[in-house]
C-alpha cells in the first residue's frame, strides 16, 4: 500500500503526543529514536505530528526503546 498522508485524527494526535512524551523522557532525539527502530527520522516525525499512520505492531518495539532505561515501577506515562 502506498504511503498516503493521513488526516490527523484525535486518536492519532493523542498517540503521537504520548509517543513524543515518552521519547522526550527517554532523552532521545527524533533522529536517535528513529535510527534505533530502523526508521527514517521523517517517519517518526510524521507519526508524532499525526501526519502518518503507525501500525500496532510498530508501537511495542518503539516503546521498548523508550522505556528500557526506566525502573520497573516508572512506566506510568510520559
Q: What is the pLDDT of residue 1?
A: 47
CB crowding 62-72: b at 16 or more within 10 Å, else e: bbebbeeeeee
Tens-place pLDDT, residues 1-54: 455 565 678 999 999 999 999 999 999 999 999 999 999 999 999 999 999 999
According to CATH, the superfamily of the domain at 10-67 is: lambda repressor-like DNA-binding domains (1.10.260.40)
Q: What is the pLDDT of residue 39?
A: 96
Q: What pLDDT sits at residue 18?
A: 97
pTM (2 d.p.) = 0.78
Amino acid at each position: 500500500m502506498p504511503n498516503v498522508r493521513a488526516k490527523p485524527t484525535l486518536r492519532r494526535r493523542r498517540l503521537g503526543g504520548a509517543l513524543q512524551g515518552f521519547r522526550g523522557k527517554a532523552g532521545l532525539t527524533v533522529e536517535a529514536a528513529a535510527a534505533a527502530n530502523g526508521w527514517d527520522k521523517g517517519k517518526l516525525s510524521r507519526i508524532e505530528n499525526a501526519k502518518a499512520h503507525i501500525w500496532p505492531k510498530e508501537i511495542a518495539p518503539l516503546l521498548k526503546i523508550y522505556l528500557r532505561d526506566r525502573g520497573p515501577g516508572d512506566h506510568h506515562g510520559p
